[in-house]
Structure 1
Amino acid sequence: MTQTSGEVRRRRVFYIPGYDPIPPRRYRELYRKEGAKQGEISGFSLSLSPKSGARFGWSVDSLIDATETHSEIDVLVWSDIVQSSMDVGIFQTYLILIRTAWIYISTGALGALMKLRRGPVLAALYPVAILLVQLLVAIGLGAVLFSVLGLMSNTALFQLGAGLASVALAYGVLRWFKKQDGKFFAYYLMHDYGYSARWRGAEPPELLARLESFQADIAEALLQDWDEVLVVGHSSGAHLGVSVLANLIRAGQVPEAGPKLAFLSLGQVVPMVSYLPDAKVLRRDLAYLSARDELFWLDVTAPGDPCSFALCDPVKVSGVAPQNQRWPLVISAAFTQSLSPELRATLKHRFFRLHFQYLCAFDQPLGYDYFQITAGPQRLSDRFADQAPTPSRIDTPANKYTEMAL
């Protein structure tokens, strides 16, 4: 039977990644490596082992504060959908760039987002700038080659050959840049921002069935013998988690006598979607979930993460907060305090790595600790029961689109 006390002996965790084409095993290795670091720093032990079942995941046995806790962590996979959306050529990527820029500019979403946080908007403009620079470099080198070859002969046939050679060089340069995207992340980020923009904020059709599958997995866990069922949504996974949990509660799939349900959103980028005109379902789900007492919702961001809408209440800034709003509790991971100057120096300008810091060890930990939250003896609601929201949170609505689905 599920315990009535606040102590957690058995926990089920569902992790929803962001827009990430890499297979889910990376998250297990990240958890193993960073969990060991955090254990050494904070004085607890974690032991990982394989987990049975159809879903990819792992089991964690911990000894924290003299209490043994068993957690099973599942990664709710949609990396195959991400991979499919990224499986396009160079020319198509530039068309996505044009389409995405047009949608955000023409709808006024870009200007509204700039009123919230410039950091994530500049992060969104980064792939646009890098891809345009790459295009200009390729065209420039092609033009130089054409000029050089043009000096050799002015016959029509030779000029045609020079033109073809120049085009081939420009294309080769673009292909080289794409192969180096592990350093630039321009193609990856362009596809990330372009994925939601393509549907103007509406749910991508190929993702709907997967979200229903996620909902079914969580609903099944809520009927089992766990003390807590914790859903973690990181980056784009945060707004997916909002819709999954809103549908779960609407369907009456949270039993009163079952495990405690909790939601942890990390490094959320909700406004990048909710500020688009057709994000009516997401806005409805944000408003609905924010007023429910079936769960506890904690939102963690940090101003040091330039890829998230740090300290923005995703419900309020989207302009859909109901009068009886309860959630989320918005707090800061406070990188400037929870990370030492030495560690911050090693992470400086590593924007993508900083966006994953929520899943990593802190060498000067404060209240937020991913590993104690996911594997420790306290429920999320108990751990943060007396936590006040960050006083510097942003809750002013700047969204011009507030219409919600019925």
Structure 2
Amino acid sequence: MSARDVAAVDGGGAVRPRRMKRCVLYLGGYDPVTPQRFFARLWRQAERFRATWTVDFSATPERPSADGAIWSAAITTRTDDWQTETDFRLLAWDDIVKSDFARPLWRRLPLSFGVLADFIVSGTVFRYFMTAWRFGLYFIYPYFIVALFIAIAAIVAKLLHHFLPVPGALPIGLAVGLAVFLGLMRWPGERWFTGHLLDARTFMGQYLRGDRPDMEARLERFAAELVAIHRTGGFDEIVLLGHSQGSVFALEIVDRALRLDPEAMRSGPPTTIVSVGSCVLQLGLHPAAEPFRQRLRALAQEPALSWTEFQALTDTVNFYKTDPARLMRLGEGTTGRFPLIRLVKIRDMLQSEDYRRIRNSLFRVHYQFVMGNTRRYPYDFFMICCGPERLSVCFPTPNYPVRDAQI
């Protein structure tokens, strides 16, 4: 029985709540947070959901698959009028992120600046600024911080060399300058997520060029999970929700699943892709991403597949007021349909005092897409995952102005 069905009446005249059974596969971004920490945060945020919407919310303890790539929990949400059972599955790739973090700095910096050179020479950085200047600033932000740290270290080395009246002042100045740079990268660099963002740029640049076999293998594993869900059946709705870089890989998973077992993927309930805080255009605007765009063109022709993207002005990580289909030249008939664009306001998701606490934190605003609201608002992460209505019912039409750009 779907959530659109009216409440049923049993033999004794009692009204039974309408029921929905949903499977949600959640794919986060380039984040080293472990599954245990993710679920701890999820359950804390669920308290907000319970209070905001006045619902009963219960969940089983999260449990990993044999290989640790999939973590799942069963969630039940109910009111007097409806009840939803959610099979929530976290698609984990934090181990891949942590392996990148473990590389020494002398390797990480050249790799990241090599990606910057690639994206500048290809014109991709300029497309970012033409399309969504806030994302352009976000993209170059860690490189600017590193350049600032280098400048400070160089000034210290220069001053020591100039004012230190001892033999060997030059090597001493250089050594102290290097120590200053390394210290700045550790603090305040870590507090400002400098190394994290540099590695994220490197990762996406490598994936673009087909140089991440570890992620390719993980995506195949996730695709097999999606196919298995379709084969098992029993759900009214299947939602694949990608946040940040996870939005790119949500699309890639569906493409792989369709190639793995097209018949299973086209049977049963349709798969709905949801992208929030989306980085799809970070990849899609690069000239070398033509294979990725070709895969999206094929996905757009699948009748059993839909894609909805939520965009917000105050989230600098997404491309606000853009249509990825038009910007990536996916072809006639995709604009306004694949994806369906919905513009939302993060400040309206939260009580005024809650929004004031987070509005100056770039990443906290970015993560509000996947946290609990403290005000009732059409976009609510937990309502998408645990609410009574299909996404196509809650958000049936687009509300965006189209922008253009050259690839």
Same-fold call, TM > 0.5?
yes
User: Using a 3 Å threshold, how does the CA distance of structure 1 residues 374 and 307 change in structure 2: closer, same or farther?
Assistant: same
Q: 1:64 to 1:359 in 2, by over 3 A?
A: farther
Structure 2 residue 305 is matched with structure 1 residue 290: no
Q: Following TM superposition, by how much is the alpha carbon of 1:94 offset from its aligned partner in structure 2, in angstroms?
A: 2.8
Report 1:42-121 matches (<5 A).
Answer: 42-54=53-65, 55-64=70-79, 66-121=81-136
Structure 1 residue matching 2:324: 3-state secondary structure: coil
Cα distance in structure 1, aligned partners of 2:95 and 2:235 = 29
Q: 1:245 to 1:65 in 2, by over 3 A?
A: farther
| Secondary structure, aligned partner of 2:60 | strand
Q: In the TM superposition, what whole-angstrom CA distance separates every residue of 1:60-87 from its partner, at most 9, and x where no partner exists?
A: 1111463222212111111222222233
**SS of the residue 1:315 aligns to:** helix
Segments of 4+ moved more than 6 angstroms: none
User: Unmatched 5+ residue regions in structure 2?
Assistant: 6-17
Cα-to-partner distance string for 1:356-404 (whole Å, 9 max, x where unaligned): 11011223332111101101222222332xx321234x342x142xxxx
Q: Is the 8 A contact 1:215 1:247 kept in 2?
A: yes
CA-CA distance at 1:8 after TM superposition = 4.8
Which amino acid is 2:42 matched to? Y
Tell me the distance in 2 between the aligned counterparts of 1:50 and 1:21: 21
Paired position in structure 1 for 2:375: 364
| Mapped partners of 2:399, 2:4: distance in 1 | 28
Q: CA RMSD in A?
A: 2.3
1:249-268 mapped onto 2 (5 Å cutoff): 249-250=258-259, 251-268=261-278
Question: Is the 1:90–1:174 contact (alpha carbons within 8 Å) kept by the matching residues of 2?
Answer: no
Q: 1:163 aligns with which of 167, 170, 187?
A: 170
Is the contact between residue 329 and residue 389 of structure 1 (CA under 8 Å) also seen in structure 2? Answer: yes
SS at match of 1:238: helix
Following TM superposition, by how much is the alpha carbon of 1:262 offset from its aligned partner in structure 2, in angstroms?
A: 1.5
Equivalence for 1:172: 179
Contact preservation (8 Å) 1:51, 1:72: no
CA contact 1:142–1:166 (8 Å) conserved in 2:
yes
Q: Is 196-205 or 264-273 further displaced after alignment? A: 196-205
Match of 2:153 in 1: 138
- Which residue, 10, 15, 20 being the options, matches 2:26? 15
Q: Secondary structure at the match of 2:248?
A: helix
SS of equivalent residue, structure 1 residue 306:
coil
Q: Deviations over 1:266-287 (max 9, x none)?
A: 1111111112222122111222
Equivalent of 2:239 in 205, 230, 240: 230
- In the alignment, the residues of structure 1 paired with residue 32 and residue 83 of structure 2 have an alpha-carbon distance, to the nearest angstrom, of 35
SS in 2 for 1:75: strand
1:195 matched to 2:206? The reply is no
Is the alpha carbon distance of 1:354 and 1:279 closer, same or farther for their aligned partners in structure 2, counting shifts above 3 Å?
A: same
Q: Name structure 1 gaps, 5 residues minimum.
A: 401-406
TM-aligned CA deviation for residue 203 of structure 1: 6.3
Instruction: Check conservation: 1:249, 1:294, Cα contact below 8 A.
Output: no
Match of 1:213 in 2: 221
> Cα deviation per residue 1:217-238 (whole Å; 9 max; x = unaligned)?
0110112222222111111111
Pick the aligned partner of 2:286 from 276, 280, 298.
276
1:239 and 1:308 map into 2 onto residues whose CA distance is 12
Report which stretch shifted further, 210-219 or 103-112. Answer: 103-112
Is this contact kept in 2: 1:28–1:58, CA < 8 A? no
- Which residue number corresponds to residue 388 of structure 1? 397
**Paired residue type of 1:332:** L
Look up the SS of the partner of 2:262 in the other structure: coil
Percent of residue pairs bearing the same amino acid type:
22
**2-structure distance, mates of 1:188, 1:253:** 40
Q: How does 1:312-391 map to 2 (within 5 A)?
A: 312-323=322-333, 326-384=337-395, 387-391=396-400
Q: Which shows bigger deviation, 248-257 or 37-46?
A: 248-257
Task: Decide which moves more: 109-118 or 139-148.
Answer: 139-148
Is residue 185 from structure 1 mapped to residue 193 from structure 2 by the alignment?
A: yes
Q: Give deviations 1:219-258, integer Å, cap 9, x for gaps.
A: 1011222222211111111111111112323441445552
Taking the aligned partners of 1:95 and 1:228, their CA distance within structure 2 comes to 45
Q: How many residues align?
A: 387
Deviations 1:23-57 (A, max 9, x none): 12232122211121122122113222214450223
2:310 to 297, 300, 305: 300
What one-letter code is carried by the residue in structure 1 that aligns with 2:182? R
